[in-house]
């Protein structure tokens, strides 16, 4: 449908010619012969108003201010038609919102070019406004997706840690605003064994969170095929070794399927004897802090889960004595820092844990995170921060 153009000009030969020119250029012209008629026709939303500055009644100081709300509110561009009695500069002082001026009598080529330019700008403005609306909607939907992903991630955190006389547990988890991929769990698999793991999916956002959910489900004992496998004979289950679990995760989460990889520290703890079997797949190595202050790190394992070319996974072992503590943590701790400053780092983490070793486990975790945030001087977290502590009390 042709775009409507309102021509506000006194009746006569000049207006008839202008109507013919506008019609010949493919537009639909509508005429208004007075100020009152012009204001009455504006609500019909023409695309453009061609307004004669000499139209009866336009010389008053209140006409252009009265015209402005109708043009702006209806998104109507306005070109003023000037005779010999008024300069373009003088008119623009009174009505700076005008799209431009044309000198009468109009040149057909100039008229066509000016109308085309003004309507093109108007159309591009509409498209830009629509793009902004769509972008706003997309941002709102994305923000809602992030909130949903964050809530899912929060719901997967352990609500209650196992009650085991020989073990004590404590943790701190601080999610970053971008939604990271950290998740951990502590589970009692049977009368003798507790499982503890912490993993970190690459990247941020909804996709990382959803992969994290999938990994979490795969590591559930109820799935019956990775961490605690069902058997058809007594004792009706078996607990695979940590290296075997890593191999199963590698097979289940290839990079080409999810376009994500993840690191994980995976431990099996003997409740009664303090034996720890573990495999560390590309994750910051768990810290073993002995009761006497000596430090060890659990390094044995393999590469990132999702990169099958890293080769087979190895399994390590350690023995806990009463008072010994294990700390699993994500790289969000060691990599945190404020702008222009060094990162918190592993050395500072080890020193802080050693300084606090005589405090109870929950206090240690809380003080460590307080120190981390103080070190960052209020800088926002760029990654999830997770710290899980385990203390062996002995029998």
CA 143 to chain centroid: 7
Res 2: pLDDT: 87
**Phi and psi angles of residue 18, each rounded to the nearest 5 degrees, phi first:** -65, -40
Give the domain ranges of the chain.
4-128, 156-392
Res 366: pLDDT: 96
Res 56: pLDDT: 66
Cα dist. 336→340, 343, 349, 383 in Å?
Answer: 12, 5, 11, 8
Q: Which residues have a Cβ under 8 Å from the Cβ of 7 and sit 6 or more positions away? A: 15, 18, 19, 22, 29, 30, 31, 32, 50
Q: Which residues have a Cβ under 8 Å from the Cβ of 279 and sit 6 or more positions away? A: 242, 243, 245, 246, 266, 300, 301, 302, 313, 314, 315, 316
Res 308: pLDDT: 65
Name which of 242, 318, 328, 327 is nearest 275 in CA terms.
318
Superfamily for 4-128?
Response regulator (3.40.50.2300)
Res 11: pLDDT: 92
List the pLDDT tens digit at each of the 395 positions of the chain.
Answer: 789 999 999 999 999 999 999 999 999 999 999 989 999 999 998 999 999 988 865 555 578 888 999 898 888 999 999 987 778 888 888 889 999 999 998 999 999 999 999 999 989 988 898 999 998 888 888 777 777 777 777 788 888 899 999 999 999 998 886 666 789 999 999 999 999 999 999 887 778 888 888 999 999 988 768 999 989 999 899 999 999 999 999 999 988 888 899 999 999 999 999 999 999 999 999 999 999 999 999 999 999 998 866 678 999 999 999 999 999 999 999 999 876 678 999 999 999 999 999 999 999 999 999 999 999 888 888 888 999 999 999 87
The model's pTM is: 0.70
Note the CATH architecture for domain 156-392.
4-Layer Sandwich (3.60)
Q: Which residues have a Cβ under 8 Å from the Cβ of 208 and sit 6 or more positions away? A: 179, 180, 181, 201, 202, 260
Strands 100-103 and 77-82: parallel
Res 310: pLDDT: 61
Q: How many Cα atoms within 13 Å fall on the side-chain side of residue 206? A: 8
């Amino acid at each position: 449908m042709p775009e409507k153009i309102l021509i506000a000009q006194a009746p006569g030969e000049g207006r008839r010619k202008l109507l013919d020119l506008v019609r010949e250029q493919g537009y639909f012209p509508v005429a208004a012969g007075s100020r009152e008629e012009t204001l009455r026709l504006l609500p019909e939303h023409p695309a453009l108003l061609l307004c004669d500055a000499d139209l009866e009644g336009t010389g008053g100081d209140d006409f252009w201010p009265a015209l402005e709300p109708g043009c702006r509110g209806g998104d109507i561009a306005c070109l003023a038609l000037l005779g010999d009695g008024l300069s373009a500069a003088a008119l623009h002082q009174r009505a700076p919102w005008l799209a431009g001026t044309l000198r009468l009598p109009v040149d057909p080529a100039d008229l066509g070019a000016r109308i085309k330019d003004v309507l093109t700008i108007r159309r591009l403005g509409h498209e830009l406004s629509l793009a902004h609306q769509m972008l706003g909607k997309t941002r709102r939907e994305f923000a809602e997706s992030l909130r949903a992903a964050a809530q899912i991630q929060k719901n997967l955190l352990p609500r209650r840690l196992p009650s085991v006389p020989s073990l004590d547990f404590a943790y701190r988890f601080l999610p970053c605003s971008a939604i990271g991929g950290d998740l951990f769990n502590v589970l009692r698999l049977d009368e003798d064994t507790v499982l503890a793991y912490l993993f970190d999916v690459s990247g941020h956002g909804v996709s990382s969170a959803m992969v994290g959910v999938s990994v979490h489900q795969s590591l559930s004992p109820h799935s019956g095929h990775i961490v605690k496998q069902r058997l058809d004979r007594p004792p009706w289950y078996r607990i695979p070794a940590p290296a075997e679990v890593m191999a199963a995760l590698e097979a289940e989460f290839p990079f080409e399927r999810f376009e994500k990889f993840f690191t994980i520290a995976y431990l099996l703890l003997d409740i009664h004897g303090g034996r720890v079997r573990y495999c560390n797949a590309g994750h910051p190595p768990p810290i073993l802090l002995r009761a006497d202050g000596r430090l060890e790190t659990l390094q044995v394992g393999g590469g990132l889960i999702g990169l099958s070319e890293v080769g087979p996974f190895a399994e390590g072992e350690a023995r806990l004595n009463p008072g010994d503590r294990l700390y699993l943590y994500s790289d969000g701790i060691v990599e945190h820092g404020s702008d222009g400053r060094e990162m918190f780092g592993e050395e500072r983490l080890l020193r802080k844990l050693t300084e606090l070793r005589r405090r109870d486990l929950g206090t240690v975790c809380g003080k460590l995170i307080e120190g981390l945030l103080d070190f960052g001087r209020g800088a926002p977290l760029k990654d999830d921060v997770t710290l899980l502590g385990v203390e062996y009390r002995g029998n």
